[in-house]
Structure 1
Amino acid sequence: MKSIFLTIILLAPFTLPGQIDAKLIQFPDVSDTQICFTFGDDLWIVSKSGGDATKLSSPAGRETNPKFSPDGQSIAFEANYDGNNDIYTIPVRGGVPQRVTGHGMTESIMDWHPGGNKILFGSSSESGKQRWSQFYLVNKDGGLPEKLPVELGANAALSVDGNQLAFTDKSRIYRTWKRYRGGTAPDIHVMNLKTLECENITNNDANDEKPMWHNSMIYYMSDNGPAMRNNIWVYNPADKSNTQLTFFKDYDIHHPSIGPADIVFEAGGKIHLMNLDDHSTKEVKINAVGDFTSVRPALKKVNRNIFSYHVSPDGMRAVMEARGDIFTLPRKKGVVRNITKTSGVAERFPAWSPDGKSIAFFSDASGEYELTIHNLKTGDNKQVSNLGPGFRYRIFWSPDSKKVAFIDQTMTFWELEIESGSLSKIDQESTLFEGGLRSFTMSYSTDSRWIAYVKAGDNKNSAVFLYDSNTKKSTQVTSGFYNDNQVYFGPNGDHLFVSTNRGISPVYSDFDNTWIYPNATQLAVVPLRKDVDSPFLPENDDVELEDEDESENEDEKDESDDDEDDNEDGDEDDEDEVDPVEIDLEGFERRMQVLPVKVGNMYNISASGKKVIYIKVPNSGSEGEKNTLKYYDLEEEEEKTIMADVNNYVLSSNGEKMLVSVNGDFGIIEVGADKKLEDKLATSEMTSMVDPREEWKQIFNDVWRLERDYFYDKDLHGVDWNAMKSRYGQMIDQAMSRSDVNYIIGELIGELNASHTYRGGGDSESASRKNVGYLGVDWEKINGEFRIKTILKGADWDLSSRSPLEMPGVNINEGDYILEVNGLPLNQYNDPWIPFTGMANKTVELTVNDKPSLENARKELVKTMRSETRLRNLAWIESNRKMVDELSGGKIGYIYVPSTGIDGQNELIRMFYGQWHKEGLIIDERFNNGGQIPDRFIELLNRKPLAFWDVRDGGDWQWPPVAHFGPKAMLINGWSGSGGDAFPDYFRKAGLGPLVGSRTWGGLIGISGAPGLIDGGRVTVPTFRMYDPDGTWFKEGHGVDADIEVKEDHEALAKG
């Protein structure tokens, strides 16, 4: 762990061995004489004229958003020293960082109050949903924050006199979508904090961000110019004009920050200063001096980055892909070997050949992923393909070790001959995305002639196909009437085993007459020829009588066999010879028989001898159960358990052993019943020498290729992708941390001008986290003591989230003082959250009184909450519902839908079933953060009356029994997107009612997964785009317009 620097080292004016030309400087701020900034995830400071910079602090994790105090003597910044991302201050000459805030949620520094005693920050800690922030002022020495009267906020700045606030209600600063013009594009608003009057001073479709005051002028960042790049603009309140001041065309500027005489910003990894008098700009050359251990090659354990694995044919060793290297590991004893050792190269999907002599994998050493064969005897690696651009998945060897089959990102199946490199196209799918591509399997027949696989038809059901390597033809052998999931040739060359969804049994809803058909997978066997008997033929124990002539013939045959055994030339040939596999293609599905295994969820079938092996997954809806590795014994006609809690497995080529994955551990076990993972593979000994800069180049190139190969539009929205590789690729050499790499990747993928382009993760140093415990209250400070202002109340009808102070038996009320926490005085802390750090979901003892005194105080035990987010969300929802109920006299119901994912569908269901009987419904999807495609949401809301039933006693029935036939309306806004775009779009198309509010985000170019990056990082690739039944594209980057436009009125919100 890096230590915190308590003093600044004065550097000599000559160049030191550890000095570098600092680029990729982020979050700069400027004072009269200095610039502070983040570089390599640490906090640095330098003269405003540039030169040698010194490091201020370097804790574990990342320090960001440094801001000089108005007198230039202190710096406020964000860091994690104490378990959460909080605000700290440090003197510009060094010292011990002082903690300012202690809430468990992130606080984002905006700037200092002009008076210099307070810090302005944003946080979503008290917002009704984690889609917007609010603004606070906190004393520079800490304390209970003061909330400003802006309901919806993102970034802000105070005027020189502190009486006006320039702010945005939305933000695109960290979004990797350039040239965006949708409903989330922010404007700059100015609010008078005394009168609460508010004005939109930009009012355009561009992205206007980061307001900064200088006297009466408001500077800001905007991409409103012809280049659609972020540049510096200025608003003049005298004539209400907006003027562009900088004109960067190749790179966007980032994180502009204002000082007494300049604005400092970053563009293309370089720092620039803009003079506020004449608006001239200049680059500031900065040198950084340090040890820079973050970019030094280091030996790292890589067992947390295992992505794929296979097993040797005899089951004595495993082969694994981890951190882009290929390793072999012994079953029990021996050496863990890194057989590739390539820091700047990614090797993926290793597979051990059935003859045990080779390991195949895909390597990008050539610049593209090519099939490479590692010779286990010589240690040599040989590229045997010239496939060119593309990404390839699991490798399947033919039993004779002469060929391999695989699938690529185009969903094409290939067979490649190792010796000649000859490539044959087998077939092509049309419905697979990342999950299906990664789990896709093919199976070779024992004679290496046939390849069995499944492929979807026009009805989207997968059918079984057989590819004949001799004729190069594929034949569909099942009808596709049902969905066949996976196939596996039996080891005797007589059977094909199939997992298939044919177990039809409905599950009915507890709320209405809706039904689904889960848990439908069955196992089946198909004799390959008409002359192969079914494994389930009836048997009859009887005495077999041997014919005398047949007995003599057998004796003669035995003698003949003995003669042949004497021929040493023929003995080995006979052992290697494999009987040809003939298949009767006609009548194939008619010969299929279901194994007597209970229908359910099963995957990864294989076969060893008479055993059909598979993983059984708990039935949909069941809780607490785990995956189980099982087999069905065809001879004993019995299902048996091999091992419980198995995530996946790979069967060895000889069928005797299997590599199993069990909750992050691996082991090789024998195929049989009731096994235990007694000998775990030594994955902790897997190490690679990682050169960060070389690895980061590979990661960048991988991202560039993934977008090139998977993006839904092969023309990449007209972007010159090669030029983008050159533009941003050169910045990788300037990266000092994995966070820098993610920043560069974000700039690259943002050029696609598409939604759902995200990146994150990777091997970054992170600080430890200590979750704060919460009481579900709003606090106030009276006479130096912390008092409960409000106990948060959700909804009476919701039991999922309640303040722990509302638990029956707890005697704590609004207005009570919390004097001690576990015996420690609460008033010794700056804010009431600090003593609850690390206390989430734990029992605490509170000393409580109705006055600020320990006299007659009482002790109360409560169990804290891990988060107040859900409770605050429920309180906001219930306040909206009550308002609608009161204003309509109980005639209109209110339904809030927070997303189109699981939480959204749950909220829709429970609020709909509680209010479907109302005359009208308001569906509120504001701040909807998307999820799934919401067609089922519309089906529920769009049920039409089909009939009514008259009964003798009681009320008549409507049919469908639970449906709303009355008028509806939907509330939308610019914080709603993705599925939150589709929901109002479908609502309108279904004619369900008007859309009221403001335009939505506008992002329906969707994602379906993408290959991971070698260090555990991730990137998304938009792989599909929505268009309407008439063939027109959804308005990507625009959003869904309201039928009745009602924009956010910040003045009205501030006034309540």
Structure 2
Amino acid sequence: MRHILLTALGALLLAQSPELKAQHSNETLLVRQPTLSKTHIAFTYGGDLWIANRDGSQPRRLTVAPGTESGPLFSPDGQTIAFTGTYDGNADIYTISINGGEPKRVTWHPSADVVRSWSPDGKHLLFTSTANSTTPRYPKLFTVSLNGELPQELPIIMSGNWASYSPDGQTIAYTTITDAFNTWKRYRGGMTTPIRLVNTKTMDSELIPHVNASDVQPVWIGSKVYFLSDRNRIMNVFEFDRSTKQVKQITHYTDYDVKTLTGNGSELVFEYAGRLHTLEPASGKATPVPISISPEILALRPTWKNVSNMIRNASLSPSGVRVAIEARGDIYTVPAKKGDWRNLTHSDGTHDRDPIWSPKGDKIAYVSDASGEYQLHLVDQKGEKEPEVISLGEPSFYRLTEFSPDGKKILYQDKKLNLWYMDLSAKKPVKVATDTYGPSTNLEGHFSPDGKWIVYSEKQVNYLNTVFLHEIATGKATAITDGKSDAGNAVFSRDGKYVFFTASTNTGTTVSGLDMSAYDRRVTSNMYVVVLNAKDPSPFAPESDEEKVSDSEKGNDEKKADEKKSDKKDDSKKDKKSDAAKKDEPKKDEPTPKVVVDLEGIGQRILALPIPAAALGTLAVADGGKLFYVNYGDAVTAPSLNRFDLKERKSEPFLPGVAGYTLSADGKKLLYFSGSSNVGIVDVGGKVNPGDGKVDASGLQALVDPRHEWKQMIDEFWRIERDYFYVPNMHGADWKGVKEKYAKFLPYVAHRSDLNYLIGEMMGEMVVGHNYVSGGDFPEVKPIQIGLLGADYETDNGYYRFKKVYNGENWNPNLKAPLTQPGVTVKAGEYLIAVNGRPLRATDNVYSFFENLVGKQVVLKVNSKPSESGARTVTVVPIANETGLRQMDWVEGNRRKVDAATGGKVAYVYLPNTGSDGYTFFNRYYYSQLDKDAVIIDERFNGGGFVADYIIDMLNRPLLSYWNGREGKSFTSPAASIYGPKVMIVNEYAGSGGDALPNFFRRRNLGTIIGKRTWGGLVGISGYPSLIDGGSVTSPSFGIYSPDGKWEVENIGVAPDIEVEMTPKDTQNGKDPQLEKAIETVLDQLKKNPVKRLEAPAPDNRARD
């Protein structure tokens, strides 16, 4: 019956989408990015470039390099294919004959060079690159000859991802901004891409009639431009007739988006539902092109892989002789010294996580999604038996914390902010607490030594954590801190007499990690101890050294006492001899400490430890009363693991550079984490040096079947989105239906990039920003960096000439300009004659001469004339990225423009993002211009980061008072403020935190906003479980709504008060219409409301009055 139901479901799905019905039983889907000639069709599959006959027959692979190939385009004569390849760790343009052979490299710049079109004569390629951009957030258009000479930048201020030549080569159709919908379908924010047609000689242009939708991938056929658009929700092919100015829909698909539209001058080809189709423009008839490729592809073979660099979690055995490790979805144990590692789970296609070793050493617990949802598994320490499986509760993501000391309970957390313990005998989960705020929680608890109490900290409504004691017998929780400090990291002492914790009273504005106002606020904590039993003394009771009385002065009673002590010492020696004789006898279990908690008056039994205040955390108590903790340091000081000796009452460094560690159950061994995947086991006493006790896990291996892993990762990604998305309705998407819709393509995934593409397509159905997929186990490609000199080039008289040299800031390590270093001083207009003795000529590509030279000394031969004669040599050190130099040049140029145009009255402040760079830029440029009357805040291309409440607060500081002294000028309160008009410039690339900034700027009525509507991506992402092969996905876990209770900005953006377009013609020769409008606006506002600076009034005569 089950088989019948599945068959019926499959028939229903095929009936809804007839295009998915395979025309041939062995047809391959997920063939992508087609291009068409008169005789062939080329496409990508499995990360490689393929070619077939026009009917799809006889497909053959053209490339086999470890890197990936994308975006193939046939030359006009159909004999050559241009494509973008990532062979050396960077995206560059290559060409290859349709007959195969070695690809020929065309570009070398370290920015991503992506081919977009052939020139009609077949001599040049049109491509996009961020090579000369002032930020990596937007590309520009370039042309390059097939010989790979110096690419020529087109005089278009910025472009998007797509461009193509008209048949006469006079006009280019291009998208003006980059796509925002790769994982965001039905996107409607400020980056909905229009298509502009520009005459490359006159710079006159027109827009294809645009609605608030994404129009992409323009292709010319005659005087008509064909393109893809989701203006009717699903991407389809549309036609724009230049003569009638009308737009017409050509295809009418309603389920899957049309992808990758290209043409050959008379026909079109596109990708839809994983299959290639040709399209006859006049009739609108689409014809599927079936492709059948043998599944015997190298990337699909099961292979043994070393997984030692993928260690994620680890737990010590009770005595510290072995360590349980999670790596690539399996659970291993590795010996501290002798023996071999063993794989306990061998769970191909299953993700096993979070191993913890039981106190008795017989079992290891972990969570596994073997059933399709994460459950608790308990396996014997050698992995010889089938694991015991226990449900942890409703479907969710779980993290195990620890066993109870008697091994009968396990403490764990779920994604839903809950702390639980599992009663292993009853197989029943018991909820301990629920945290107050999401999207993540630090609600981590610890058992008391007798297993009857749990100590944990829970965030309260005031955003501060409070330490609680939970009594297991009654289920009652009692706060033991007063809520006036941020208390946490609580642990019991091993004898059960104390609870140690940290607490801070200067968390202040750092209580939300989302706010920029948390920056530069060094939060420090002190260490405290709670005496649980009211009858126990303080561990820091006063001590006093007293002189011993000599025997001659002792009385008879004292002598008798000494004799008894001597007898005891003799007995002790006998006992030690007896112990030695019993060395081989089985050890008896130590008695379980009895924990007595007197809750009444417990707050008065909280004492401070003599440990200096710092960023303290991650406490654990080892054998011998040794309290371990991490000092997380600050911007200057690295983290370190420290040890406090309760008996000696002093602290000392234990292991520098270590922030992660755990203890064995007996408290005698410590496991530390160093670097990404290095672990070591050391004794808790004595001196330890970095690297001591290193555990050799270098041989860890797993048999990896890509198909099994890929299926598991699709399932896990689907569950991550289900559980972490900020609203449970998935924005109205039928999330189960989405899985069914795309899971049918999984059998055709042939490369890790295919899996990421498929995940991205599923993400897109949620219609939300900040949904990203990245990484994973890709074939290894050795990166070869290209060195840069921080310059623009041109060719003249057969040589390269420096067109512009960027100064940067040589005092700033991040903005060093190679050509302006002392002793180098290369100037614009000089010629570059040779590089490391190799003559450089105009027919060469200058960037190819700097392969693998980043950070290395390079000898340049330069001259003031195009000749070898009279040339001088200079030694420079090329850099890997010069975008920062270009950005600083643009920013300083804008500042000078504003200063000159306003007579020095207006400040200019650029904000590249709302993260650390934006914070630094604001502090540097705003406060250095406090002498100005007004300010222009430019947040175009703002990459977001955090909520810039700090910047909004600083801009919203009205004048409160003047202060006068006998000498010097009067000053103001607040002093650090510009009191006059404020204007903000925005554009389509400003997003996330760059959306919030203008939104709050408007909400505070701070001034006028000028430019274009912003991106509209104002949801947030936090931490997520990694995928089994190291790949990552996000799921927006919090979203914004306004003070009046309405969702805002997301998928909308922030519209300007004054919209200013940036057309090609209006932006020639460095013109910036948006900046010019901002200057005009702020000057007009200053004229209407000039800033007045008052002189001090006449002195009072109070002594006479």
The within-5 A match list for 1:802-817 is 802-817=816-831
Residue aligning to 1:952: 966
Higher mean alpha-carbon deviation, 785-794 vs 737-746, is at 785-794
Q: Residue 662 of structure 2 is aligned with which of 639, 650, 664?
A: 650
Segments of 4+ in structure 1 off by > 3 A? 80-84, 502-507, 513-517, 540-556, 571-577, 609-619, 793-800
Partners of 2:425 and 2:460 lie apart in 1 by 34
CA offset digits 1:429-467 (Å, max 9, x no partner): 022444x45xx5311011111010000111111010111
Q: Is 1:100–1:830's contact at 8 Å kept on the other side of the alignment? A: no
Number of the residue aligned with 1:459: 462
Residue type at the aligned position of 2:740? S
Question: What is the distance in 2 between the residues matched to 1:79 and 1:831?
Answer: 18
Question: Who is 1:253 aligned against?
Answer: 258
Q: Please say if 1:591 is aligned against 2:605.
A: yes
Matched, 1:667 2:672: no
Aligned letter for 1:1027?
A: Y
Contact 2:155 2:1064 in 1 (8 A): no
From 378, 390, 408, the counterpart of 1:373: 378
Please name the residue that 1:449 is paired with.
Answer: 452
Match of 1:528 among 520, 525, 532: 532
The letter for the 1-side match of 2:601 is G
Q: Measure how far apart 1:589 and its partner are.
A: 2.5
Point out the more displaced range, 662-671 or 204-213.
662-671
Query: Do the aligned residues in 2 keep the contact of 1:660 with 1:668 (CA within 8 Å)?
Result: yes
CA-to-aligned-CA distance 1:247-280 (integer Å, 9 cap, x gap) = 2222112211112332222222222221223111
Amino acid at match of 2:639: N
Alignment of 1:62-461 (within 5 A): 62-82=68-88, 84-154=90-160, 155-172=162-179, 175-225=182-232, 228-289=233-294, 291-376=296-381, 378-385=384-391, 387-434=393-440, 436-437=441-442, 440-461=443-464
Counterpart secondary structure, 1:745: helix
In the alignment, the residues of structure 1 paired with residue 1019 and residue 533 of structure 2 have an alpha-carbon distance, to the nearest angstrom, of: 48
Q: Secondary structure at the match of 2:111?
A: coil
TM-score (norm 1): 0.93
1:84·1:769 contact (CA, 8 Å) conserved in 2? Answer: yes
- Tell me if structure 1 keeps the 8 A contact 2:632–2:659: no
Worse overlay, 100-109 or 168-177: 168-177
The TM-score, its normalising length taken from structure 2, stands at 0.89
CA distance in 2, matches of 1:722, 1:120: 42
For residues 252-311 of structure 1, the C-alpha deviation after alignment (integer angstroms, 9 at most, x for no partner) is 122111123322222222222212231111221112247411011111111121111111
2:640 to 628, 637, 642: 628
The separation in 2 between residues aligned to 1:609 and 1:432, in whole angstroms, is: 36
CA RMSD of aligned residues (A): 2.7
Q: 1:885 offset after TM fit, Å?
A: 1.2
CA contact (8 A) 1:632 1:639 kept: yes
Q: Which residue of 1 aligns with 2:1094?
A: none
Secondary structure of 2:894's aligned partner:
helix
Query: SS state of the match for residue 795, structure 2?
Result: strand
Code of the aligned partner of 2:409: K
Residue identity opposite 1:952 in structure 2: R
Q: In structure 1, what is the equivalent of residue 700 of structure 2? A: 686
After TM superposition, the structure 1 = structure 2 runs for residues 948-1027 of structure 1, keeping only pairs within 5 Å, are: 948-1027=962-1041
1:486 aligns with 2:489: yes
Instruction: Give me the whole-angstrom Cα distance separating, in 1, the residues matched to 2:294 and 2:520.
Output: 64
Distance of 1:506 and 1:927 partners within structure 2 = 27
Q: CA deviation at 1:376?
A: 2.4
The answer to whether the Cα contact below 8 Å between 1:792 and 1:872 also exists between their aligned partners in 2 is yes
Q: How far 1:573 moved relative to its partner? A: 12
CA deviation profile, 1:300-336 (whole Å, cap 9, x unmatched): 1111211111110100000011111001000011110
Contact persistence 1:431–1:456 (CA under 8 A):
yes
**How much does 1:551 deviate?**
12
Which stretch of structure 1 is more off in the superposition, 528-537 or 260-269? 260-269
- How far apart, CA to CA, are the structure 1 residues paired with 2:755 and 2:814? 40
Q: Structure 1 248/1054 Cα, relative in aligned 2: closer, same or farther at 3 Å? A: farther
Q: 1:918 aligns with which of 932, 937, 942?
A: 932
For the Cα contact (< 8 Å) 1:232–1:245, is it kept in 2? yes
Counterpart code for 1:636: E
SS at match of 1:915: coil
Measure the CA separation in 1 of the matches of 2:269 and 2:698.
Answer: 46
- What whole-Å deviation, never above 9, does each CA across 1:47-81 have from its counterpart, x for those lacking one? 11012310101112111111100000001111134
The answer (yes or no) to whether the contact 1:602–1:615 under 8 Å persists in 2 is: yes
User: Secondary structure in 1 aligned to 2:834?
Assistant: strand
Q: Single out whichever of 518-527 and 530-539 deviates more from structure 2.
A: 518-527
Residue 627 (structure 2) aligned to one of 613, 635, 650: 613
Contact 1:642-1:672 within 8 A present in 2 as well: no
Give percent identity, aligned residues only.
36
Task: Structure 2: give runs of 5+ residues left out of the alignment.
Answer: 1-24, 511-516, 550-556, 1072-1105
Q: Which whole-Å deviations, capped at 9, do the CAs of 1:387-430 have from their partners, x for residues lacking one?
A: 23100013311000000011100001111111221111111002
Deviation at 1:160, TM superposition (A): 0.2
Is the 2:622–2:628 contact (alpha carbons within 8 Å) kept by the matching residues of 1? no
Q: Residue 762 of structure 1 contacts residue 1015 of structure 1 at CA under 8 Å; is this kept in 2?
A: yes
Supply the distance in 2 between the matched residues of 1:593 and 1:46 (Cα, whole angstroms). Answer: 78
Q: Which moved more, 1:172-181 or 1:629-638?
A: 172-181
1:278/1:766 CA distance change after superposition, 3 Å: farther
CA contact (8 A) 1:923 1:968 kept: yes
Instruction: Render the CA deviation track for 1:566-625: whole Å, top value 9, x for unaligned.
Output: xx9xx9998465243121112222211111111111221100134443343353232xx4
Q: Which residue of 2 aligns with 1:16?
A: none
User: Any unmatched runs of 5+ in structure 1?
Assistant: 1-18, 508-512
Q: Identify if the C-alpha distance between structure 1 residues 514 and 927 changes in structure 2 by more than 3 Å, giving closer, same or farther.
A: closer
Q: What is residue 767 of structure 1 aligned with on the other side?
A: 781
Q: Is the 8 A contact 1:183 1:1039 kept in 2?
A: yes
Listed one character per residue, the Cα deviations across residues 755-807 of structure 1 (whole Å, up to 9, x for unaligned) are 11111001111422122111111111112211111112457998852532222
* Contact 1:898–1:928 under 8 Å retained in 2: yes
What does residue range 851-930 of structure 1 map to in structure 2 within 5 Å? 851-930=865-944
Alpha-carbon distance between aligned partners in 1 of 2:813 and 2:753, rounded to the nearest angstrom: 40
The residue identity in structure 1 corresponding to 2:683 is E
Secondary structure of the 1:833 match is helix
Q: Which structure 2 residues correspond to residues 46-57 of structure 1 after superposition, within 5 A?
A: 46-57=52-63
* Contact kept in structure 2, 1:325 and 1:341, CA below 8 Å: yes
Letter in 2 for 1:295: L
Quote the residue 1:8 is aligned against. Answer: none
- Residue equivalent to 1:9: none
> Structure 1: which amino acid aligns with 2:958?
K
Take 2:258 and 2:795, find their aligned partners in 1: how far apart are those partners?
A: 42
1:31 corresponds in structure 2 to: 37
CA distance in 1, matches of 2:829, 2:266: 48
Residue 873 of structure 1 and its aligned partner are, at CA, apart by 0.6
Q: Which amino acid aligns with 1:600?
A: A
Which residue of structure 2 lines up, in the alignment, with residue 10 of structure 1? none
Change (3 A) 1:514 1:952: farther
> What letter corresponds to residue 885 of structure 1 in structure 2?
D
Partner deviation per Cα, 1:935-989 (whole Å, 9 max, x = no partner): 1111111112222101111100101121111110101111111000000011111
